């Protein structure tokens, strides 16, 4: 919540300080930066999944550095493309893309915390990263700086946050298994919420005492992890992030400067509804990666995400009349559409939960449905959308149809997998 509020505060204040003519550039580059976070989000999911499955932390940290180097090379190559397509300054484009390698390193450490279910430490890292990214950018904007200096300051904050995350995650753990497992019942450190802090529990319920003793992986499940699983997860995350950000980029192309800025401000409501329930996926993801708990975790996630989405849309509808008081009267024309923006974000949050479950069980081919939805959205917007209402209505419609298809497939697959995992009557 701290990270999300900080992000929304950045966009709200930037919309006022940069004005209706300058905010579009800032918002479009933030959308590009979100797309650059795709490899980072994919890495976090893969690291958490592989840690649950027994990979060593040392091996996973080696993977995150390899991914960071690859991302840095690709980001450098994309700077002239982004500059030309969005008609922005070279420094601004470089600042937006330059944060990508640091995001990869930050997310790798977050994956270690998530996979080991150290949710309190993960919460501290997430909140600190949001503040470290936003505060320097706000200082620059408040001092009269433009888009490029603000994005440079945000990138520097992400670098600091990645170093803090590495320090918080600490040294790789060593697991020492007791010689004799308990005869009956779970270990006393197992609760309804999972193992207590300081212990790891295998699928049989045996307790593993966890001690940080340096980079010494034990013989227990030293799994090597290559870049390929990250690439598979990345294309799932890329499909989701592209679908959630394509409308902002297209708005910059097909609308005039004022309407593009209004659309960008309305999209803040979509981002709030999209990121508000992020903790649901974070907490349930390790269970999604375990075959015996996956189906239940997926159903729980989709149900909770849908409920939070209803609340978010209702809140946007009620808060719409006061939006111009915070953003300025230039944005009054879109206040009646805020509930639609929130609906788009809420639907995409459910889609994110469904796709996370696909990554957790390494069935990433499902992303093809989302890629198809993205193509349909881009074609419809480029050919027919020339106003803010048309753009957001198209985005909501495509997101809804895509989410329904993906959710149905995920739930059916989970039910079949869960049935296959049940022990036989004679087992």
pLDDT for 397: 96
pLDDT for 167: 93
Q: How many residues can be counted in the chain?
A: 427
Helix axes 119-142, 147-169, angle to 10 degrees: 160
pLDDT digits (tens, 9 = 90+) for 29-76: 887 887 778 888 889 989 998 888 888 888 899 999 999 999 999 999
pLDDT at residue 209 above 50?
A: no
pLDDT at residue 188 above 50?
A: no
Tell which residue, 331, 35, 37, 22, has the closest CA to residue 148. Answer: 22
Contact present, 358 and 367 (Cβ < 8 Å)? yes
pLDDT for 25: 82
Q: State how far the Cα of 233 lies from the Cα of 362, in Å rounded to an integer.
A: 8
pLDDT at residue 140 above 90?
A: yes
pLDDT at residue 419 above 60?
A: no
Return the structure tokens found at 379: 């074609």
**What kind and span of H or E run contains 194?**
strand 194-195
Greater confidence (158 vs 24) lies with 158
Greater confidence (10 vs 426) lies with 10
pLDDT for 327: 62
pLDDT at residue 157 above 90?
A: yes
Return the structure tokens found at 271: 């981002």
From 122-126, 140-144, 195-199, 220-224, the region with the lowest mean pLDDT = 195-199
pLDDT digits (tens, 9 = 90+) for 331-375: 677 888 999 999 999 999 999 999 988 888 888 888 899 999 999
Between strands 190-191 and 194-195, the pairing is antiparallel
Q: Could you tell me the pTM of the whole model?
A: 0.71
pLDDT for 205: 36
pLDDT digits (tens, 9 = 90+) for 79-121: 999 888 888 888 988 998 989 999 999 999 999 999 888 999 9
Q: Maximum distance among all alpha carbons in the chain?
A: 73
Greater confidence (170 vs 378) lies with 378
Average pLDDT over residues 298-317: 92
From 266-270, 291-295, 322-326, 365-369, the region with the lowest mean pLDDT = 322-326
Average pLDDT over residues 271-298: 85
SS (H, E, C) 15-68: HHHHHHHHHHHHHHHHHHHHHHCHHHHHHHHHHHHHHHCCCCHHHHHHHHHHHH
Please state, rounded to an integer, the average pLDDT across all residues of the chain: 81
229 Cβ contact list (under 8 Å, min separation 6):
46, 50, 362
Whole-angstrom distance between the N-terminal and C-terminal Cα of the chain? 46
130 Cβ contact list (under 8 Å, min separation 6):
2, 3, 4, 5, 6, 7
pLDDT for 329: 66
pLDDT for 56: 87
159 Cβ contact list (under 8 Å, min separation 6):
102
Report how far apart, in Å, the C-alpha atoms of 173 and of each of 7, 393, 409 are. Answer: 33, 49, 37
pLDDT at residue 193 above 80?
A: no
Number of Cβ within 10 Å of residue 191's Cβ equals 9
| Dihedral pair phi/psi, residue 175, rounded to 5° | -105, 125
- CA angle, 99 then 116 then 287, to 5°: 100
């Amino acid at each position: 919540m701290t990270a999300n509020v900080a992000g929304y505060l950045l966009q709200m204040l930037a919309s006022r300080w940069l004005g209706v003519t300058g905010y579009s550039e800032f918002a479009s580059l933030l959308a590009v930066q979100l797309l650059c976070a795709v490899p980072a989000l994919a890495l976090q999911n893969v690291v958490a999944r592989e840690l649950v499955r027994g990979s060593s932390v040392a091996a996973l940290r080696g993977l995150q550095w390899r991914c960071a180097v690859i991302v840095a090379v690709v980001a450098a190559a994309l700077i002239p493309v982004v500059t030309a397509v969005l008609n922005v300054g070279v420094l601004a484009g470089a600042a937006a893309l330059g944060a990508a390698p640091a995001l990869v390193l930050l997310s790798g450490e977050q994956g270690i915390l998530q996979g080991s279910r150290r949710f309190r430490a993960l919460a501290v890292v997430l909140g600190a990263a949001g503040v470290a990214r936003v505060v320097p950018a706000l200082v620059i904007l408040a001092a009269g700086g433009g888009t490029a200096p603000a994005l440079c300051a945000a990138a520097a904050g992400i670098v600091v946050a990645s170093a803090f995350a590495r320090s918080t995650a600490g040294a790789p753990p060593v697991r020492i298994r007791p010689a004799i497992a308990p005869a009956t019942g779970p270990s006393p450190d197992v609760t309804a919420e999972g193992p207590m802090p300081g212990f790891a529990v295998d699928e049989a319920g045996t307790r593993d005492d966890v001690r940080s003793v340096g980079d010494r992986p034990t013989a227990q499940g030293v799994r090597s992890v290559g870049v390929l699983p990250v690439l598979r997860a990345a294309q799932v995350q890329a499909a989701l992030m592209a679908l959630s950000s394509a409308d902002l980029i297209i708005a910059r192309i097909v609308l005039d400067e004022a309407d593009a800025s209004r659309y960008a401000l309305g999209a803040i409501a979509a981002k709030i509804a999209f990121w508000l329930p992020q903790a649901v996926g974070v907490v349930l993801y390790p269970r999604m990666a375990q075959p015996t708990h996956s189906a239940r975790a997926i159903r729980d996630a989709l149900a909770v995400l849908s409920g939070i989405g209803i609340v978010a849309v209702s809140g946007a509808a009620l808060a719409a009349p006061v939006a111009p008081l915070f953003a300025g009267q230039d944005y009054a024309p879109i206040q009646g559409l805020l509930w639609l923006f929130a609906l788009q974000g809420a639907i995409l949050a459910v889609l994110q939960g469904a796709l996370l479950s696909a990554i957790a069980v390494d069935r990433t081919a499902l992303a093809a449905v989302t890629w198809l939805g993205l193509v349909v959205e881009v074609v419809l917007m480029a050919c027919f959308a020339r106003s803010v209402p048309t753009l957001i209505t198209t985005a909501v419609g495509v997101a809804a149809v895509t989410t329904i298809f993906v959710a149905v497939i995920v739930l059916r697959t989970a039910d079949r997998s869960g049935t296959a995992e049940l022990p036989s009557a004679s087992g």
